[in-house]
Amino acid sequence: MKTKMKSSPQPPRVHVPGAFRSGANVPFSGIYSLSHSHPLIHSTRLLQGHIFPSCPKCHDVITFTLMNQVIVESASSRFRLLMAR
């Protein structure tokens, strides 16, 4: 007997893991590195459920890359986007 192998490879519609943009929901609490058109801070801590912020200087989109996922997160540690200079 042949087993029905319904192999329909449908890649899950997910973004590239770890790469996010301003305006998106923060999927994981953790340390994110920032990629932007002009110098900003290298990394920042973001909390799950928050929104990736846009640039405080030019209000343009920032690309965030997840570096380290933080498992334990206290509510007191808020997101702070400090400018580089």
Q: List residues near Zn ion by CB under 5 A.
A: 55, 57-58, 60
Q: Give the span between the Cα atoms of 48 and 65, in whole angstroms.
A: 14
Point out the residue whose Cβ comes nearest to Zn ion: 55
Q: Are 62 and 54 in contact (CB under 8 A)?
A: yes
Closer residue to Zn ion (CB): 29 or 44: 44
Least separation in angstroms between CB 58 and Zn ion: 3
Closer residue to Zn ion (CB): 41 or 55: 55
Closer residue to Zn ion (CB): 45 or 57: 57
Dihedral of CA atoms 40, 35, 37, 48 in degrees, nearest 10, equals -80
